[in-house]
Amino acid sequence: MDGPAPSLRDRASGLIATATVLALLYLGRDVLVPITLAVILSLLIAPLVRVLRRLGLGQTVAVLVAVLTLAVGFTAAAAVVAMQIVKMTASLPHYEKTIRHKLSMLEDLTVGRIDVLSGQAGRLLAARQSAKGGPAQNPVAGAAAPVAGAPIPVEVHNPPPDSFEVLQKVLGSIWVPLETAGIVLVVLIFVLLEHEAVRDRFIRIAGGTDIRATTLALNDAGARLSRFFVSQFLVNLGVGVAVGVGLTIVELPHALLWGALAGLLRFVPYVGVWIAALCATVLGAAVDPGWTLALETLGLFVIVEMMAGQLIEPQLYGHTTGLSPLSVVLAAIFWSWLWGPTGLIVSTPLTLCLVVAGRHIKALSLLDVLLGDTQALTMPQRFYQRALSSDSREIIDSARDFLKRNSFASYCDVVLMPALSMARMDLDAGAISAQQLTKVREVIVSVVTGIGGRTRRFWYRPPRSSILEETNIGRTLRLERERIAGPYQGPLAVPPGSVMLCVGLGSVPDDLATELLVRALRDQKIDARHISIAELDAPTPSGASVDGVSMAFVVSAFPGAERDQGEKVATLIRQRLPAVRIVSVFLHGLALQTATSIDSIRGADKAATSFGHAVQICLDNTVSADAAT
């Protein structure tokens, strides 16, 4: 009874803490929104402050100049946008005729067609009802007649407002934004002035005894965030300028307004720039009697956004912000629910700050897992999880992406063998059933066969009967090759020293590792062949020559009792093939763990600890043999 109590208490404490934080964020939004904007703007203009400091200005003067520059820039942009809105509002009556014509056209194409269909259906029903002798419906029947003595409608007109009332309404509408802007500027100045002091306090709170690591993490996080915000601001500014210039060229009215809105709304993830594009396109349709201007406007937005998103942003800060696409969307919904439109604009920067904090602060690492774009599972873990789910297609797609940049040997070392190690440990611990083990075997055969140079076909499936009947998947994969290359896996008459033999030590994992090594060597255009210990004692096939074999690899997948007979196998190989070079390939078995020492066997000429190492030894031997020839 003592075990579950702390767990339930911890869960309840976590739920209460989460609810408390959400309540504080919502109830304190009037205070937190200006502070958040000030912190984000401080990261944005921090490079300008550093430049001014390098020019010889003091800290206070540099901060005031930077903040004044920011305020003047935003004020000028707001004034331009406001004037453009006033001009557009005044010019809208000139477009009334075109708007009415376009709306009438759209109505005819949509609602008008529906009315025609409903009218035809009504006439058919009326005709059918008349044929049955039903009473005819008079559309005017039941209309209410004027009632004598009804009250006469009276219209009441208020006197026009005087100048004081107009001024009061204007000030009332802009007072809240001005108040927020003033608070943001004041907080921004003090954040920049107290930058070092705030950082020291944060290090004291979060760093504990490890001040060095906390300082490095904080400096790295601040530099990354500042670089990202500056890059994003410059990209959005460039998009706004490009859109404004382009719309001026195509002669869309109020091009400056749409350029400014495009740059501003682009801070809203995914949909912001397209909101500006939609509004500008609607104006283009209202201005032009035809549809040319609307199509040109929409095409300009598409071209500019594609260039910014696919060419410029990847060069500045990568294809992504470090956030998963789902987390960006969910963050936009969450912060807009908490803080309204301001939360929507700052949702991506805020979420990025949380992800950076999660990467550097151990207690917040859950945020990096939930919100970041890094894989939650390692590649071997993903392979094993998909294998348990019999999802071979996703594994094959991932493997093909990996093989575009790496060799098959690297894939076996980095992904497949560590995943097999996980399955082996779970099997030894009794954590997986025989049915799950069969699924893993089937998936391994499907994956190795699917990425082994076979032409990719959507309908390809490995032969299920051989997989289910043969539990030794290494032998199954070998038989699959022998059905293509013949019982000897290739011709018997070969040039001297061109064949590499691979021999497993007898266990099922050893046979699989041996077959994988054969395929890794064949991936490098090396004639490698898989044989068993029993085949070493068999007579040499007719037409084969021992001079054709150059190297022999003794393969062991995991540390175990099978390695005790490694020396015996090496001795047997030396007796049958005296001139070959023997290489022991003893894999570590533990997922992604590098051994400090190399296991080998007596009598071996070389020792390898991975598929990549074994392949490199073979390639070096081939180069040496060619040089000697």
pLDDT in tens, 513-526: 999 999 999 988 88
What's the CA gap between 401 and 403, in Å, rounded?
Answer: 6
Using one digit for the tens of pLDDT, what is the confidence trace for 432-474?
A: 877 787 788 888 888 888 886 443 333 334 444 333 334 688 8
Is pLDDT larger for residue 167 or for residue 564?
564
Model pLDDT, residue 242: 92
What's the CA gap between 604 and 587, in Å, rounded?
Answer: 15
Containing H/E element for 549?
strand 549-556
Contact 624, 606 (CB under 8 A): no
Report if residue 514 sits inside a domain: yes
Of 254-258, 298-302, 319-323, where does the model show the most confidence? 298-302
Average pLDDT, the chain: 77
How many alpha carbons lie under 13 Å from residue 29 in its C-beta half-sphere?
13
Average the pLDDT over 538-560 and give the result. Answer: 83
595 pLDDT band, cuts 50/70/90, is very low
Q: Strand pairing partners for 530?
A: 502
Going from the C-alpha of 63 to that of each of 44, 185, 195, the distances in angstroms are 13, 11, 11
What's the CA gap between 217 and 210, in Å, rounded?
Answer: 11
Rounded to the nearest 5 percent, the helix, strand and coil shares of the chain are: 70, 5, 25
509 pLDDT band, cuts 50/70/90, is confident
Tokens describing residue 367: 């945020």
- 3-state SS, 129-152, equals HHHCCCCCCCCCCCCCCCCCCCCC
Report if residue 450 sits inside a domain: yes
What's the CA gap between 286 and 278, in Å, rounded?
Answer: 12
CA-closest candidate to residue 393, choices 383, 403, 404: 383
Sheet with strand 549-556: strands edge to edge: 527-531, 499-504, 549-556, 581-586, 606-608
Contact 346, 36 (CB under 8 A): yes
Model pLDDT, residue 553: 92
Going from the C-alpha of 186 to that of each of 122, 192, 312, 390, the distances in angstroms are 69, 10, 34, 59
What's the CA gap between 46 and 66, in Å, rounded?
Answer: 9
Model pLDDT, residue 519: 92
Using one digit for the tens of pLDDT, what is the confidence trace for 84-141?
A: 888 877 777 777 777 777 667 666 666 656 666 666 666 666 666 666 555 555 544 5
Using one digit for the tens of pLDDT, what is the confidence trace for 263-299?
A: 888 887 777 888 889 888 888 888 877 788 888 999 9
* Phi-psi sector, 156: left (phi>0), alpha (psi -120 to 50), beta: beta
CA-closest candidate to residue 170, choices 93, 254, 86, 91: 86
Model pLDDT, residue 226: 74
Assign 58 to helix, strand or coil.
Answer: coil
373 pLDDT band, cuts 50/70/90, is low
Model pLDDT, residue 245: 92
Tokens describing residue 380: 């071997």
What's the CA gap between 267 and 348, in Å, rounded?
Answer: 8
Going from the C-alpha of 95 to that of each of 2, 20, 84, 289, the distances in angstroms are 77, 52, 16, 10
What's the CA gap between 498 and 449, in Å, rounded?
Answer: 25
Report if residue 170 sits inside a domain: no
Residue that terminates a domain, selected from 193, 219, 237: 193
Contact 536, 576 (CB under 8 A): yes
Report if residue 584 sits inside a domain: yes
What's the pTM? 0.56
342 pLDDT band, cuts 50/70/90, is confident
Assign 57 to helix, strand or coil.
Answer: coil
CA-closest candidate to residue 606, choices 618, 624, 594, 595: 618
Report if residue 352 sits inside a domain: no
Q: Which of 26-40, 49-63, 357-371, 585-599 has the lowest mean pLDDT?
A: 585-599
Report if residue 144 sits inside a domain: no
Total structural domains in the chain? 2
Report if residue 256 sits inside a domain: no
Model pLDDT, residue 517: 92
Contact 481, 454 (CB under 8 A): no
Structural domain of 546: 380-628
Report if residue 262 sits inside a domain: no
Q: What's the start-to-end Cα distance of the chain, in Å?
A: 77
Whether residue 481 has pLDDT greater than 50:
yes
Whether residue 419 has pLDDT greater than 70:
yes
Assign 334 to helix, strand or coil.
Answer: helix
